[in-house]
Amino acid sequence: MAVFFYALSRKQNTLPHALKTPINYAFLYKDKYIMPAISKKGLAMPQSPIRKLVPFADAAKARGIKIHQLNIGQPDIKTPQVALDAVKNNDLEVLAYSHSAGFQSYRDKLASYYSNHGIDVTSEEIIISTGGSEALLFAMGSVTDPGDEIIIPEPFYANYNGFATASGVTVVPVISTLEEGFALPPISDFEKLISGKTKAIVICNPGNPTGYLYSQEEIRQLAELVKKHDLFLIADEVYREFAYDGHQHHSVMKERDIDNHAIMIDSVSKRFSMCGARIGCIVSRNKELMSTAMKFAQARLSPPTFAQIASEAALDTPQSYFDDVIEEYVSRRDILVAGLEAIPGVKVAKPKGAFYCIAELPIKNADAFAQWLLESFDLDGRTIMVAPAAGFYSSENVGLNQVRIAYVLEESHLKDAVAILKVALEQYQV
């Protein structure tokens, strides 16, 4: 007979570490501890290539190593003061729920913002979400069923894999290459992958992790494709403001002949350097889609109140703020790309937007290299943290020698980071 043990019993010290908490229970059967099974979905959930090396970074910091963090898109650009002041100076007496779709005043103001960027939508066509991540989950939940497929050009934002896994959806990748600057693959490559299970095509524009900016013609090609095959086109446009060298961002929402196909995902995280606010939105003119997404929004009650207050105020940020930020990112990009190109054996595609690039290194395994940088290497007490790019692909054994670098640090730190990388590659033996 199985004997039931509570983790705080007198037998506690004999239990595995994972069971030594007040909330853990175990069965002892034939001198073996038996735990309930973890879900297949949970086991399949991929680790973040951006954050999985954090324990090694923490250990390096504990040793006194200074780390240039190039692994995560956390800008060092200051959050607009108007957003911070809106929270500081607020006189709320009750921190209440908002409408499930978000504050009406915020959605009205956001609709005006989009109108100023050539995107004509109403507040009813906007649902505020807890970050762009939740907006993507709303979108996937609204247009797919377990077992369905979505096609994504890869490499792509790593969390798309996680969102798909959480939704029971299969990602079908279509590969873009560094040699082509990560441009949109031929439409024929997409058509080969479309099946009866395909429900949507997902893009990030400008791209994370590549920095590629889809042209108007490329967006038009995708629009024709989703019309032809009756699919949704989900466009993650959180980096819209960051387009360089005279290039212009072209939103899927400007393609009016796909009003019932187009879904836009947006966020304040990068635009206003407000990653911690966790405010995004899903935007679509498809009434049935938005009605469905609203049910998901109601299920989580509402987006966070103070963060909405800050995000609404941030829309008053003058254009000069973005002009300065874009100028800064262009300068950082140019310094980083030039530095990488000067390192023997390194290949890099010059980004047209966002603040990431993919670099191919003269190594076999970027995961091992990235860990080695934190565990076993330093240059006068300094090292770098990068994101292994294989985690941004769903195809196996692709991108193994690539890393994603976020140029979100000031120029002097980027120059130092490139110098550290050069020495590290010279010393690395695997």
pLDDT in tens, 311-366: 999 999 999 999 999 999 999 999 999 999 999 999 999 999 999 999 999 999 99
List the domain boundaries for the chain.
3-36, 47-78+320-427, 95-314
Q: How far apart are CA 427 and CA 265, in angstroms?
A: 43
Architecture of domain 95-314: 3-Layer(aba) Sandwich (3.40)
At residue 27, the pLDDT reads: 60
pLDDT exceeding 90 applies to what percent of the chain? 88
Each residue's pLDDT tens digit, 132-158: 999 999 999 999 999 999 999 999 999
Looking at residues 238-242, what average pLDDT do you find? 96
Alpha helices (H) in 315-410, listed in sequence order: 319-341, 366-375
- Which pLDDT band holds residue 182 (cuts at 50, 70, 90)? very high
**Band (23; pLDDT cuts 50, 70, 90):** very low
* Radius of gyration of the chain, Cα coordinates, nearest whole angstrom: 23
Q: E strands, 166-267, where?
A: 170-175, 198-204, 232-236, 262-267
Higher pLDDT, 209 or 1: 209
Cα separation, 79 vs 91, whole angstroms: 21
The distance from CA 255 to its chain's CA centroid, rounded to whole angstroms, is 24
Gap between the Cα atoms of 385 and 70, Å rounded: 6
**CB 168: neighbour CB atoms within 10 A?**
15
Choice between 32 and 130, residue whose per-residue pLDDT is larger = 130
Of 302, 294, 300, 235, nearest to 267 by C-alpha is 235
**Contact between residue 409 and residue 417 where contact means Cβ atoms under 8 Å apart:** yes
Q: Is the pLDDT of residue 9 over 60?
A: no
Average pLDDT, the chain: 93
Spatial CA neighbour of 138 closest among 269, 312, 266, 268: 266
Confidence bin at 47 (pLDDT 50/70/90): confident
Q: How confident is the model at residue 10 (pLDDT cuts 50, 70, 90)?
A: very low
Q: What's the rounded Cα separation, in Å, for the pair 361 and 261?
A: 39
What architecture does CATH give domain 47-78+320-427? Alpha-Beta Complex (3.90)
Which residues in 365-375 are b (16+ Cβ under 10 Å) and which e?
ebbebbbbbbe
Q: Do the two domains 47-78+320-427 and 95-314 of this chain adopt the same fold?
A: no
Closest of 365, 345, 348, 364 to residue 405, by C-alpha: 348
CA 299 vs CA 125, 129, 266, 294: distances in Å: 19, 12, 20, 9
pLDDT at 358: 98
**pTM of the complete model:** 0.91
d(CA 69, CA 411): 13
Residue 217 in this model has a pLDDT that exceeds 60: yes
pLDDT exceeds cutoff 50 at 105:
yes
- Mean pLDDT of the region 65-69: 97
Tokens 């941030």 correspond to 314
> Residue 6 above 90 pLDDT?
no
